[in-house]
A = this chain, B = another copy of it.
Amino acid sequence: MRTLIVYAHPEPTSFAGAMRDAAVSTLEAAGHEVVVSDLYAEGFNPVAGRHDFTTVADPERFHYQTEQAHASAERGYTPELAREQRRVERAAVIILVFPLWWGGVPAILKGWFERVLAYGFAYEDSMRYDTGFFRGRSGLMGIVTGGTRERFSERGTYGAIEQVLWPTQHCMVEYLGLNTMEPFVAYAAPRVSMQQRREYLHQWRQRVLECLDGANTPGGEPPALKTARPATTWSSEE
């Protein structure tokens, strides 16, 4: 079974880096194939634009979803995006590992969603959540915070972690139709004891293994993504 880890931290020796490494070794020890999209190391450009495409749907006015729908039908993505889309397509499990910055994913990972998980490739108007393209695949987030668990509680400074992560979990990961698990959060990882960090990594490895159960892939093959076709009925999301 193949897993794609999308990893977004600029420093390899960060705790997020340790979580990436722990996920890779755990999955490989269990006999799985792992591919890592290391966004910083690969110099991923998170800015959406005409440079996403080799095709043009409307040369006068740039409407992003129109261009994405067109490129999905015409195989019009640039090599960088086409490579990421192939990685996504082949993965039965998708794991995101990142630090929580300003209450959300780093810009480089936000842009990965915007550009790679494009209209016509990863979703369409009536194809999301329960009818999403990624049903039968599994998704998990591994998150590092600077703030303590208490700060992410109902009466804490930032509000409950479920509240802070709502758009990330519900409007990004669940949107795709993935079988999702509760996000794993390593609270205040830079400030806690070495023993607590080891404990976090132990729990994280368990969670990664549990995540495999969410992928219904007899034979190890991920379910095929719905074949992209020219969009005729989609409506825009500006």
Contact = CB atoms under 8 A, between A and B. Distances in A.
Nearest to A166: B163
B11 A63 contact: yes
Interface in A47-62: 47-49, 61-62
A144 B63 CA distance: 14
Main secondary structure of the interface of A (DSSP, over half): loop
Interface string A161-185: 0011111101110010000000000
Interface residues of A, number: 57
A191 interface: yes
Given A10-B64, A189-B238, A129 B157 contact: yes
Contact of A158 (B11, B63, B114, B170): B170
Given A10-B48, A11-B61, A110-B107, A166 B170 contact: no
Interface in A7-25: 9-11, 13-16
